[in-house]
Amino acid sequence: MATGVARKVKMSYLCFSKCPMDNITTMRKIFFFLSLIITAGCSQAQTTSPEKLPAANIEKLPAFKILTKDSAYLTNANLKKDKPVMLIYFAPDCSHCQRLMYEMKPEMAKFKNIQILMVTFTQTNMLKMLKEFYRDYNFAAYPNIMMGTEYPNYVVQRYYNISTTPYIAIYDHKGKLVKAFEKAPKMAELEAAVKKS
């Protein structure tokens, strides 16, 4: 009986030893096929997320909670009532965002009557980037500017369906949308939209 079991083990070993490339090739094909299924499932889940709202639903400012450079949280409750709001979604290392701030800086007197809410997606362990951005553009001189990160929830990003930065949405003193810009506007366009608020 022991010789029968040994013979079966020896035969199965011979089968594997005769065709190891076929087994490896088959395993690779199975692994590749499973990888494709997993990748397709993940990408489908990202594009059909129920949390992502179409851009048509941006008439009101979304509820937000951002962490400032000083590790304090800001929400809608921190905004002054009956005052317009300019939301700027940005990235501290985005060259277009940096250029927008550079162009806005000499015109800041024109934006003194609007609350500027700057929101980013930067991870909280990178608050140093926010501090440097705040310092580089001398935001301390402008009390109407609030800045922070919404990481890890990305509520604002999903609300506006933002794919590039900077994104700007301007709301009037009643909280109604005046204008949204999906890319950095010319300063004259931005100033005109702010005047309407």
Segment 10-66, tens digit of pLDDT: 544 444 445 555 666 766 766 555 555 554 444 333 333 334 444 558 999 999 999
CA nearest neighbour of 195 among 177, 178, 176: 178
CA nearest neighbour of 79 among 87, 71, 70: 87
Residue 131 to residue 17: CA distance in whole angstroms: 63
The phi-psi region of residue 71 (left if phi > 0; otherwise alpha if psi is between -120 and 50; otherwise beta) is left
**Quick one: average pLDDT of 60-82?**
95
CA nearest neighbour of 167 among 118, 126, 130: 118
Q: What is the pLDDT of residues 104-152, one digit of tens each?
A: 999 999 999 999 999 999 998 888 999 999 999 999 999 999 999 999 9
CA nearest neighbour of 193 among 116, 139, 118: 116
- Considering the entire predicted model, what is its pTM? 0.72
> What pLDDT is attached to residue 39?
47
